[in-house]
Structure formats: structure tokens, C-alpha cells
Amino acid sequence: MNSDQLVVKMIMDRWYAQVKNFDDALNTFSDEQLEREISPGKNRGIYLLGHLVAVHDDMLPLLEFGDKIFPEINATFKSPDKSVAAIPAASELRTYWKKMNEVLTQKFNSMQPGDWFKKHTSVSAEDFAKEPHRNKLNIILTRTTHLSYHLGQFILLK
């Protein structure tokens, strides 16, 4: 295993571990439980689920994997919870979450280790030359901490 492979493995392992932890929690919660707030007056479980689908969907264009697959829910779950009256049902969001993970996993598997160190689409070639840490692998890293942050909240529905 060369050094690029090693580092990609370390970071992807973290991503998949957080996805699995979220998945495990999601599978133990009923749709009714997902409707509850994580703490009085705070976000609902269903909102966090939709928010994660939306943020992960953004990774597709960012990593040059193509267009978002759920563009119709993106704005809803970037807006604060309860600011949009009609949101998809919990059962529907479960399907989106599953599909999102399948698509991302398939795309991730198509990458060679070196590809991860190339620039993502929201940094210019000029800036990237000066800031090579703004690569595709860094997107996984920042989305992993984002996912952990919300996982810590989501688990409170227990």
C-alpha cells in the first residue's frame, strides 16, 4: 500500500464508519420517532435526515460525479427546520438516504487513489495551485465531521 492509498483508506474508513453509525441509528428509529425534536425547540430527526441527504447530494457535482440526484429537496433541507411547511415523508427520506449512499459508494469505488488529490469543482485552478489541500479528499474529510456532528444530535432521539 503506497502512501496515497494509505491516507485515502484512513479517511474513507472514517466516512463509512459514520455512515454506518447513522444507518444503525436510523434503522432503530420508527417514522414516528423521526418526527420528534432532538431537544425541545431544536431540529427534528426527519429534518436532520433530509439535511444530510441534501449535503451529501452536493458532493456529486463537487467531486465531478455528475448532477445532484435529489435537486428538488435541496433548498428545503438547507433552510432551517420548520421554515418549509411540506417536506417529504420519513419513509421517502429513508429511501433517499439509502440511494444516496449507494450512488456515492459506487462513485467512490471508481476513483484511483491519486484522483482524490485533484481539485474539486468549487476551487479555481489558480487557487488550487496555491492551496493544494483543497482537493477532493478534503471534501470527504469535511463532510465526515459534518456527518458526525449531526449524528451526535440524531442519536438523542433514542
Q: What are the percentages of helix, strand and coil residues in the chain, rounded to 5?
A: 65, 5, 30
**Per CB under 8 A, does 49 bind its own copies?**
no
**Per CB under 8 A, does 138 bind its own copies?**
yes
Q: Which cell goes with 7? A: 491516507
Q: Binding residue for its own copies (CB under 8 A) from 24, 28, 30, 42?
A: 42
**Contact letters (x/-) for its own copies, 66-105, by CB under 8 A?**
----------------------------------------
**Per CB under 8 A, does 117 bind its own copies?**
yes
Q: How far is the CB of 36 from its own copies (least distance, A)?
A: 10
Q: How far apart are CA 6 and CA 114, in angstroms?
A: 11
Residue of 115, 93, 3, 17 lying closest to 49 (CA atoms): 93
